[in-house]
Structure 1
Amino acid sequence: MFARTKRLFLRPAWPEDADALVAAIADEAIVRNLATAPWPYGIDDAREKIAHDAETPAHEASCLVFLRTAGAPELVGSVGFGRWNDKIAIPEIGYWVARKHWGKGIAVEAAEAVLEAAFLGVGSDMLGAGHFIDNPASGKVLRKLGFVPTGEIIPYPCRARGCEIDSVEYRLSRERWLDRVGMYREAA
């Protein structure tokens, strides 16, 4: 998936992104809130992720997020949607943003592009999401995107912490997303 927003450019990861990926994500405050990333995070982990993402099925997306600048774009995060483990029934959205870019709306802006791809491009009817209970900032992002808490808190694996962490679960329907962004479903 490739997408361009007001400030960002989203695209698949390429092998030459490995060093920039490590520089952006190798921060325990980021990795501890992700399900699949290890800690510490090194160049071999970046290469493994890039190779894995190259195999992403067409009905899923995994993108690096770049801040568009006057010069070379700066890698500032990642966003995608898919089935991250066997415990989930519907695709989930996931994201992270490099610490120096926290609080700037980048996660919301990048996720909006991915939601459009999921709901309009792939035709998903429902997306899930979750955040570890000790990461309420991610819940704030999800609510800004229109996700609604399900009331469920489930144990979810965290590779960096080496255990399961309670995750607050959310859902967003295609219909709710279309209403929120001002689009209407065509009559069937």
Structure 2
Amino acid sequence: MFVRTERLFLRPGWPEDLDDLLETFREDAFQRTVAVSAMPRTREAARAYLDRPRDPRFPHFFMYRRGTQGAKLVGGVGLGPHGDEVEVGYWIAAAFRGQGYALEALRAVVEQARTLGHRRLVAKHFTDNDASVRVLEAAGFHDTGDAHLRYSAGRGEEALAHVYAIDLERRRWPHMESPDEMLSA
């Protein structure tokens, strides 16, 4: 499964991605923002990460910025089962944060989730990650009011995480509503 956005090409990981992934995954600042488990830092672990089987209902994409000098790894985004819910997660390499790539990719994956028949997505962010709040809200997610401790291998401990959600059956993007849709919501 492949998705093309204005600036990005979202695609599954390939063996050729190994060096790009290792460069990014070895950054301590990156590891700290990973929610549940640390990303692989060795060549063998990264190869196993790329080779693991994927459920087609829960795709994971690597974000590559398209450009005249070739593609550059920007981050990753994907869906995964989390209990009875479908969780979306994403990461951005430190050099590309603050440039709108997370929002661009997240919107594309939300649309992909809708196409796959998912009705609701949740996303969790650590309370010290204000950038994720801005990205999630801009993508149409809302704060559910729920928060709980969640283990972070990158931090080596649990940290408080807020839960955001988006109802995929209700509407597309808040800024795309017609006046009639707003009245019926």
Q: Same fold per TM (> 0.5)?
A: yes
- Name the CA distance, whole Å, in 1 between partners of 2:165 and 2:131: 17
Counterparts of 1:66-81 in structure 2 under 5 Å? Answer: 66-81=64-79
Partners of 2:127 and 2:162 within 8 A in 1 = yes
Partner of 2:18: 18
Partner of 2:103: 108
SS in 2 for 1:94: strand
Moved more, 107-116 or 32-41: 32-41
- Report how far residue 44 of structure 1 moved: 2.8
- Name the CA distance, whole Å, in 1 between partners of 2:161 and 2:118: 23
- Report how far residue 76 of structure 1 moved: 0.9
- Residues 78-125 of structure 1: CA distance to partner in whole angstroms, max 9, x if unpaired? 000112x5xx321111001111111100000011111111012x1111
Partner of 1:155: 149
Partners of 2:85 and 2:121 within 8 A in 1 = yes
Partners of 2:58 and 2:78 within 8 A in 1 = yes
- What root-mean-square deviation, in Å, do the aligned CA atoms of Structure 1 and Structure 2 show? 2.0
SS in 2 for 1:9: strand
Partners of 1:146 and 1:176 within 8 A in 2 = no
Partner of 1:33: 33
> Which blocks of at least 5 consecutive residues in structure 1 are unaligned?
none
Counterparts of 1:1-188 in structure 2 under 5 Å? Answer: 1-38=1-38, 41-52=41-52, 55-83=53-81, 85=82, 88-120=83-115, 122-178=116-172, 180=174, 182=176
For residue 164 of structure 1, what is the amino acid of its counterpart?
E
SS in 2 for 1:146: coil
SS in 2 for 1:178: coil
- Report how far residue 130 of structure 1 moved: 0.8
> Which blocks of at least 5 consecutive residues in structure 2 are unaligned?
none
Moved more, 173-182 or 162-171: 173-182
- Name the CA distance, whole Å, in 2 between partners of 1:177 and 1:29: 35
- TM-score normalised by the chain length of structure 2: 0.88
What fraction of aligned residue pairs are identical, expressed as a percent? 36
- Report how far residue 40 of structure 1 moved: 7.5
